[in-house]
A and B are shown apart, each in its own frame.
Chain A
Amino acid sequence: MTITPRALTTGLATAVFALSAAASAETLRWANVGDSLTLDPHAQNHGQTHTIAHQIYNTLIYSNAAGAQTAGLATDWYILDDEPDVWEFTLREGVTFHEGQAFTADDVVFSFERALHANSDMRPLINTITEIWAEDDYTVRMRTDGPNPLLANNLTNLFIMSREWAEANDATVVQDFSAGEENYAVRNANGTGPFRLVSREADVRTEMERFDGFWGMDQYPMEVSRIVFTPIQSGSTRAAALLSGEIDFLQDPPVQDVNRLENSGDIVVRNAPQNRSIFFGMDQGRDELRTSDVEGENPFADRRVREAMNLAVDRNAIQRIVMRGQSAPAGMIAPSFVNGYEEELDRVTGTNTARARELMAEAGYADGFSVTMTCTNDRYIEDEGICQAVTGMLGQIGVNVRLNARPNSIHFAELQNGELDFYLLGWGVPTLDSHYVFDFLLETKTDDSGAWNFTGWSNEEFDALSRQLPTETDLERRNALIAEAWRIVQDEIVYLPIHHQVLNWAMRSNIEMDVHPEDQPMIKYLSFN
């Protein structure tokens, strides 16, 4: 018998394929561009770090793929009737940590105190908590510095550690960078979550196995018995690894490869709107722009100029050409599942270059003006492409844009210093409430509000509305305030929204898992069909 090379190839391919199919019934090989930065769940407020932590640790409450708050280690949570500044959490009973410690209210108190320490990057999310204590073994109360109806929204990535374990391993405090020693919790983990850590080599491979003592064994599919997570940096290599059957689940297939993956037969790409909106900010507060040829005045300060720019940007073209269909053109900086979202405000009206030119002329810029646009080129999907497209579109109405695209570590440093006239930014709303957008992007910039408002926009009426929100406990009234605040923002055209990103998860076609809008896959939900 002679074996032709072709037959040999097919035979080998089939063998490899059969192997991978049989193995994936149990093991999930999962890849993403970046790795978790640390296993310490309170050290970094960072998406992929939370993603790995969600497999190993639990939170009191988490947000599921539909964006709903779901019971984790807490089975019930509410504000006390007689004390509007106290939250009570009823805890799940009979939960144990991977190393056998029983879970009690004391662990919750410990974890929150740990996350409130100055070294913890999670502190800003919960720094309204002034006091936390255990009422009994399965009840925890937290007092905030005033009524805080949205506290629960901030706890969806706040993981619970064992006090006993942390004390035994000298990990009661989050890593301090100036200390010379490595904290035990950076590379070791002991949670109550569905999977326990087997081994971890940062940037290389993290292995987890199913924890059979997990409290939710009956509540979730729990069909994966072993997870092998591998970061793969290069986009084409990631796609190749999925095509060649070396991985089963690719969290971030490159936009340009989505079609190819879908057409390969064995792979399905599921998508969902992502909790991240992309937009441009314009510095409208200064007397004069730094990078413009207009002297003595700031063109962005004129609402007509902002409206003209808004009319000139063709969001549908960006979606079609730059994003290859993988985005949802946007009129407001909040995706559909955020409280306060209105379809009408988010609708994209289409371009009107003629009207835009008229507006420019009315504002006194018939001959246009120049400005530098600053963009990232490694942060958002196709960020540089979006900026190139917008540069061309604005050119049509006489706004002569010089594009400056560079890595995000430079972009954000200058943005934080308030040095940019016209910039690209993306924003997610982890609390799923409009106040988060107002607080960071729109309120007047002071020491404790408007932290990301680099537009110089300041509106007293808006600030007054927004500042009522944190303590307003009447939900109906609160929503009315939100709607009113959004009207002001939309009317003033503070930002130029472009689109909401769309998340694509590519996986073997036998895998069932809904795409999570926060890009937080929870493997406990994964099932095979």
Chain B
Amino acid sequence: MLAMLIRRLLQSFVVMLVVAFIAFSLFQFVGDPINNMVGQEASAQDRAELRERLGLNDPIPIQFTRFVGNAIQGNFGMSYRMARPVSDVIAERLPATLELAMISAFFALSIGIGLGVYTALKRSGVLSNFIMTVSLIGVSLPTFLIGILLIYLFAVELRWLPSFGRGQVVRVNDWWTTGLLTPSGRASLILPAITLGLFQLTLIMRLVRAEMLEVLRTDYIKFARARGLAQRSIHFRHALKNTLLPVITITGLQLGTIIAFAIITETVFQWPGVGLLFINAIRFVDIPMMSAYLVLIALVFVVINLIVDVLYFVVDPRLRATKH
């Protein structure tokens, strides 16, 4: 177990180095930050001096080594766009993204599993068919369109919910702010959470339904029925429990996706999270910010994968057995 953990950690470190290096080699195709950093009056000499000061004239491997060297010491540099330390800015923005991701994951999981079970049990019901048809929309509509439609309906026409921003937030401690404690903060969460979670919701729902149908056909369910167990007990204690294993795996990975790719939702709703920060960084060619963000996202995926692996090890006795 310990050996596996150490091996995994070393692999993770290599993965992150590779991600950072690929990111670095791509930055030269994103453009040149200098033009965004100076006014149009700046002379060619001013530009050249700034480029030299920022070390942009150095070859990519040298820039990369410098970045890694500083990053290991926890220094991700100054944002070109905001003139502030990158790590401070990301730390400020992370709570907004994590909060949104958690809420939408919760929304997707609870409703997704509920609807999945329902449509599996009432396979040919009118409502089930209706839900299955509607869920196709969730799978096929692009996120930004869903967001804009929701804004149009609930913010512009009905005026029930805000169209942008995070509302009033409360500072919990030095590094965490939350919108969950104020009415406007909670209202602001609803539309972005639905937009971000809709795809995962339909995915989970369809997954649960398919797994459930599979399980319901197995022998032990038949035997359970033969034993005269209550329908409820069969469905929820025996069937559902066994369908949840793949759901947990998928959800874990999807959580990473939600955090990493909240970019579009954050842009549509002006949600002040790291996704929006990243989009702005790309537009500005804010190299320190982009590097730090990509390393952070790599870290998120690496950690989630590590946790999933460990959970497998713990949960599935067969894995442990083969090790001996």
Could you list which residues of chain A lie within 8 angstroms of chain B, going by C-beta atoms?
A: 9, 12-13, 16-17, 37-38, 40, 43-46, 118, 121-125, 175-180, 182-183, 186-187, 201-205, 230-234, 236-237, 240-241, 243-246, 378, 407-413, 416, 427-428, 440, 447-448, 451-452
Contact = CB atoms under 8 A, between A and B. Distances in A.
A182 B270 contact: no
B42 A121 contact: yes
Given A233-B279, A407-B283, A121 B38 contact: yes
B85 A240 contact: no
Contacts of B33: 409
A240 B88 contact: no
B43 A124 contact: yes
B163 interface: yes
B268 A40 contact: no
Nearest to B160: A12
Interface string B92-105: 10000000000000
A448 B269 CA distance: 45
B165 A124 contact: no
Interface in B3-49: 29-47, 49
A240 B158 contact: no
Contacts of B49: 118
| 5 shortest interchain CB distances as A-B pairs | A45-B39, A409-B31, A413-B32, A412-B35, A124-B41
A409 B284 CA distance: 7
Contacts of B277: 203
A243 B153 CA distance: 12
B83 A236 contact: no
Contact of A244 (B34, B44, B163): B163
Nearest to A416: B35
Interface stretch (B74-82, B131-139, B222-230, B291-299): B74-82
* Interface range, B side: 35 or more
B185 interface: no
B44 A204 contact: no
A202 to B, nearest CB: 5
A233 B84 contact: no
A203 B281 CA distance: 12
Contacts of B216: none
A236 B280 contact: no
8 contacts: A124-B43, A176-B53, A177-B78, A178-B54, A244-B163, A246-B164, A409-B285, A416-B32
Contact of A234 (B35, B40, B80, B267): B267
Contacts of A408: 31, 35
A62 to B, nearest CB: 17
A452 B40 contact: yes
B156 A243 contact: yes
B162 A246 contact: yes
Contacts of B241: none
B170 to A, nearest CB: 14
Given A37-B83, A182-B83, A410-B31, A124 B46 contact: yes
A40 B41 contact: no
Contacts of A187: 84
B83 A40 contact: yes
Query: Of residues B39, B47, B81, B83, which shows the largest number of chain A Cβ atoms within 10 Å of its Cβ?
Result: B83
Nearest to A34: B280
A16 B164 contact: no
Contacts of B44: 416, 447, 451
Nearest to B285: A409
B236 interface: no
B239 to A, nearest CB: 38
A203 to B, nearest CB: 6
Contact of A204 (B29, B160, B272): B272
B152 interface: yes
B156 to A, nearest CB: 5
Given A13-B158, A45-B41, A178-B54, A203 B272 contact: yes
Contacts of B144: 234
Contact of B36 (A125, A176, A241, A409): A409
Contact of A182 (B36, B43, B85): B85
A522 to B, nearest CB: 20
B35 A409 contact: yes
Nearest to B53: A178
Given A230-B164, A234-B267, A182 B84 contact: yes
